[in-house]
Amino acid sequence: QVQLVQSKVEVKRPGASVKVSCEASGYRFTSYGITWVRQAPGQGLEWMGWISAYNDDTNYAQRLQGRLTMTTDTSTSTAYMELRSLRSDDTAVYYCARVSSSTSEFDYWGQGTLVTVSS
Amino acid sequence: SYDLTQPPSVSVSPGQTASITCFGDKLGDKFACWYQQKPGQSPVLVIYEDNKRPSGIPERFSGSNSGNTATLTIRGTQAMDEADYYCQAWDSNTVVFGGGTKLTVL
């Protein structure tokens, strides 16, 4: 069965960077994209960007351009999301999700990784 | 930028029909999908391509999309359907989520 397992809780200082991992199993990793979505406490879903696991093409949300990098490691079927220059309003649960190959809905989600940014 | 607008909250009595709307300019020209999120859990896809249900999603969930409005309909609503619901669409190669609707079953 398809599973996306994310790395654990992170606590970071303002200005630091965080790198969250998302290990996929149960399907051919390179046949699908991975998207990242975050959710601040008590807020809605915010799309961060997308990466193709086939050729590493990326597309990032404009407001995060310059601070965000998404990568994949096909040898371990793992996707990574790195966010730099962290601010307190980056505190959120970060989710990875598989992008369906048909019409690009997000059909399987990871369990989420809480990233807290605090001095 | 493209926006999707949802009502913040909808209430429904058990066994009745709940309708959650999502408004966006010419949304009917795009594919809309819907996610259910219960407290402390990851979102779950419940409708994709406007009106298709993934495997495992009950038949009481249905969707439509025309003009400027996509609608998620839950017939025979059950207590377990109480959750936040988000619509989502792609616009110019970026993803847009609606602000979410809290469905209360009371």
CA distance A5 to chain B (A): 12
pLDDT band at A3, cuts 50/70/90? very high
The single-letter DSSP state of residue B75 is S
Best residue of B91, B95, B101 to probe chain A, by most A CBs closer than 10 Å: B95
pLDDT, position A104:
85
Q: Which residue of A has its CA nearest to B39?
A: A42
The rounded radius of gyration (Å) of the Cα atoms in chain B is 13
pLDDT band at A35, cuts 50/70/90? very high
pLDDT, position A103:
76
